[in-house]
């Protein structure tokens, strides 16, 4: 199986680019952030403070998280219920960031991610895919962009949807999440030593997808040569 790991901070454009590249390559796109969001939503629904490590850990045996793919589109299933929309609500972002710092939560989601990659050609995106989940991935990409560019992209996205937001609030949130994600003790956000760094600040989405696809085709060709 071919495994491609894409890591990077919130809003770098990982998910859109990874989804499009996966569709061009005929790979499954796995969005692992959705899994942390699912655990975050499970805690919110139970009224558990998402930064309460003991309570969140104690909740885990009561929940099941699964991934389903319909026409190549990923759905996350929490205790049998499709929560793919609920995990996109704004409050789910900080909840996900909080629960993702809890080692028990990372351990809970580890096997699910490993299994997906073992059985499928995948492009998997997240924060620790190249470093922890798929250290043997044939291709690792670390996608980044300045906080300002990421906040602007998010602002444009939400404005287009008719959601009123303040640019400065988004920028503060992005900076806060970057800090949380890269300073936590458990699997902090960092590039794997063998990752290809891609700064997308001045790149169009099309260019990013082209570059990822080109890199992926390179490793697919290498793999064929080696057979």
- Summarize as ranges the residues that interact with ligand DC (CB under 6 A): 10, 32-33, 36-37, 93, 96-97, 100, 126-129, 177, 181
Shortest distance, position 14 Cβ to ligand DC, whole Å:
7
Which CB atom, from 136 or from 227, has the smaller least distance to ligand DC? 136
Distance of CA 80 to the CA centre of its chain: 22
- 126 CA to centre of own chain: 3
> Closer to ligand DC at the Cβ: 10 or 83?
10
Are 36 and 105 a contacting pair, CB within 8 Å? Answer: yes
Residue 118, exposed/middle/buried by CB under 10 A (0-12, 13-18, 19+)? exposed
Closer to ligand DC by Cβ: residue 130 or 209:
130
Closest CA to 130 of 196, 177, 43, 51: 196
Least distance in angstroms from the C-beta of 196 to ligand DC: 18
Least distance (Å) between residue 160 CB and ligand DC: 19
Name which of 76 and 216 has its Cβ closer to ligand DC: 76
Give the shortest CB-33-to-ligand DC separation in angstroms. 2
194's CB contacts (< 8 A; 6+ apart) are 130, 140
DSSP element (H, E) containing 224: helix 205-226
- Tokens for 187, please give them: 């699997």
Confirm if 124 and 117 have CB atoms less than 8 A apart: yes
Q: How far apart are CA 23 and CA 150, in angstroms?
A: 24
> Using CA atoms, how far apart are residues 131 and 140, in angstroms rounded to an integer?
9
Q: How far is the CB of 91 from ligand DC (least distance, A)?
A: 12
The smaller minimum CB distance to ligand DC, of residues 16 and 218, is found at 16
Find the shortest distance in angstroms from Cβ 226 to ligand DC.
29
Q: Which is nearer to ligand DC, 156 or 222 (CB)?
A: 156
């Amino acid at each position: 199986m071919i495994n491609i790991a894409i890591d990077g901070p919130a809003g770098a454009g990982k998910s859109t680019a990874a989804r499009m590249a996966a569709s061009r390559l005929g790979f499954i796109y796995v969005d692992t952030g959705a899994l942390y969001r699912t655990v975050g939503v499970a805690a919110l629904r139970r009224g558990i403070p998402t930064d309460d490590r003991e309570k969140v850990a104690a909740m885990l045996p009561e929940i099941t998280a699964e991934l389903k793919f319909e026409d190549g589109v990923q759905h996350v299933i929490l205790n049998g219920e499709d929560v793919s929309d609920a995990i996109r609500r704004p409050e789910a972002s900080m909840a996900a960031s909080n629960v993702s710092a809890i080692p028990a939560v990372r351990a809970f989601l580890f096997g699910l991610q490993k299994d997906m990659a073992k059985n499928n050609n995948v492009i998997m995106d997240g924060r620790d895919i190249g470093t922890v989940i798929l250290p043997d991935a044939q291709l690792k990409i670390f996608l980044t962009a300045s906080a300002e560019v990421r906040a602007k992209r998010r602002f444009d996205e939400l404005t287009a949807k008719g959601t009123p937001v303040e640019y400065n609030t988004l920028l503060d949130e992005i900076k806060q999440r970057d800090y949380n994600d890269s300073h936590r003790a458990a699997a902090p956000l960092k590039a794997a030593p063998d990752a290809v760094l891609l700064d997308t600040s001045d790149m169009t989405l099309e260019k990013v997808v082209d570059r990822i696809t080109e890199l992926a085709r390179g490793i697919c060709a290498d793999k064929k040569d080696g057979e």
